[in-house]
């Protein structure tokens, strides 16, 4: 019997880590249910710890098992469904490396320009955040130049899921970008699944005052 999948996520407006595997599961066309946990309210950490020892979202429940971490969940989906990574082995390794850069790095952009889908501001951001944005732009430009399609590795892959929240940061904080990066951002932000998630963020009433205060 196929195991039931349930994805525990944080708030739609703010939880960049949750958006990534949600997109991957949608693209994989794997049926799953979703449970959203409001972050940063009294008792939220205990709630997260009751879901998994990681104490973070996202977590994918697979039958009775729980799998935390956005990349681990994405790799689980890639084992179920082909095409979530490039088919060519060399390109697959490259896509994994590019994805890991987002999973483990770009700390300044994450800190200084946190995902906040409802946010639009043009206030200046610190230099380290601009440096991250320029580095990300260069990485995207290099990947996009090597492939034919609109995505980093031609067709959509997990790498694009990982950079979708980053794309929204360029839009929210009006970060400088090249024409190629701007086209890529528009591509990611007009994806029908992304728009489905964004609609939920726009109607969500829960706010995280500390995140809203960044760059205010």
Ligand X SMILES: N[C@@H](CCC(=O)N[C@@H](CS)C(=O)NCC(=O)O)C(=O)O
Instruction: Using CB under 6 A, list all residues that contact ligand X.
Output: 10, 15-18, 45, 48, 56-58, 69-71
Q: Give the nearest distance from C-beta 12 to ligand X in angstroms.
A: 11
Nearest of 144, 129, 132, 124 to residue 185 by alpha carbon = 144
Q: Give the nearest distance from C-beta 72 to ligand X in angstroms.
A: 8
Give start and end residues of each alpha helix (H) in the chain: 16-28, 44-51, 70-80, 89-104, 107-112, 127-146, 158-172, 179-189, 192-203, 209-213
Q: Give the nearest distance from C-beta 129 to ligand X in angstroms.
A: 18
For residue 33, what are the β-bridge partners? 6
Q: Give the nearest distance from C-beta 21 to ligand X in angstroms.
A: 8
C-beta nearest to ligand X: residue: 56
Pick between residue 10 and residue 86 the one whose CB is nearest to ligand X: 10
Pick between residue 15 and residue 168 the one whose CB is nearest to ligand X: 15
Assess contact for 171 and 185: CB atoms under 8 A: yes
Pick between residue 57 and residue 77 the one whose CB is nearest to ligand X: 57
Assess contact for 125 and 173: CB atoms under 8 A: yes
C-alpha distances in Å from residue 135, one per residue of 63, 145, 207: 40, 15, 30
Pick between residue 98 and residue 181 the one whose CB is nearest to ligand X: 98
């Amino acid at each position: 019997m196929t195991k039931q999948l349930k994805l525990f996520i944080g708030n739609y407006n703010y939880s960049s880590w949750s958006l990534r595997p949600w997109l991957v599961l949608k693209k994989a066309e794997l049926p799953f249910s979703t449970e959203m946990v409001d972050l940063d309210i009294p008792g939220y950490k205990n709630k997260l710890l009751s879901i998994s020892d990681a104490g973070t979202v996202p977590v994918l429940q697979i039958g009775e098992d729980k799998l935390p971490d956005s990349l681990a969940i994405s790799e689980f989906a890639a084992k179920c469904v082909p095409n979530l990574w490039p088919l060519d082995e060399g390109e697959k390794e490259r896509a994994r490396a590019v994805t890991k850069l987002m999973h483990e790095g770009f700390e300044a952009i994450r800190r200084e320009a946190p995902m906040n889908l409802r946010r639009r501001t043009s206030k200046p951001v610190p230099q380290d955040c601009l440096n991250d944005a320029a580095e990300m732009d260069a990485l995207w430009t290099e990947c996009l130049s090597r492939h034919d399609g609109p995505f980093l590795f031609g067709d959509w892959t997990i790498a694009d899921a990982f950079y979708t929240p980053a794309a929204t940061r360029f839009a929210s904080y009006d970060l400088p970008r090249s024409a190629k990066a701007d086209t890529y951002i528009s591509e990611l932000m007009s994806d029908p699944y992304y728009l489905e998630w964004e609609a939920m963020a726009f109607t969500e009433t829960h706010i995280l005052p500390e995140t809203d205060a960044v760059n205010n």
